[in-house]
Amino acid sequence: DQQVKQNSPSLSVQEGRISILNCDYTNSMFDYFLWYKKYPAEGPTFLISISSIKDKNEDGRFTVFLNKSAKHLSLHIVPSQPGDSAVYFCAATPNEKLTFGTGTRLTIIP
């Protein structure tokens, strides 16, 4: 039972354009959502988070949008840079335990 789903295994975006990564969840108890970025041979690195009381959170080039009625969140990266090439994981939690999606591999094309 995959409670957090990232349906796009991979995404390629031209440098300087917008990258949009999507995530869907099924558990209504989730009230806090996070995005992590992972390079090979490293642990996930926290990027940005959003509480269910908000619908948008912005941090520099990264913006996360939450649509609770659709149980959907997205991460926007503008402008995309070559260093953004990595695997991005969406995670959700009602408490201490994070439930992760399967990840989206983002490739930024110079």
Would you tell me which residues interact with other proteins (CB under 8 A)? 4, 31-32, 34, 36, 41-46, 49, 51, 89, 91, 93-103
Closest CA to 83 of 33, 16, 7: 16
- Least Å distance, CB 80 to other proteins, is 22
Asked if the bond preceding 79 is cis, omega within 30° of 0, the reply is yes
Instruction: Name the minimum Å distance from CB 41 to other proteins.
Output: 7
Q: Which is nearer to other proteins, 31 or 62 (CB)?
A: 31
- CA-CA-CA-CA dihedral for 10, 11, 15, 19, to nearest 10: -120
- Closer to other proteins by CB, 53 or 110: give it: 53
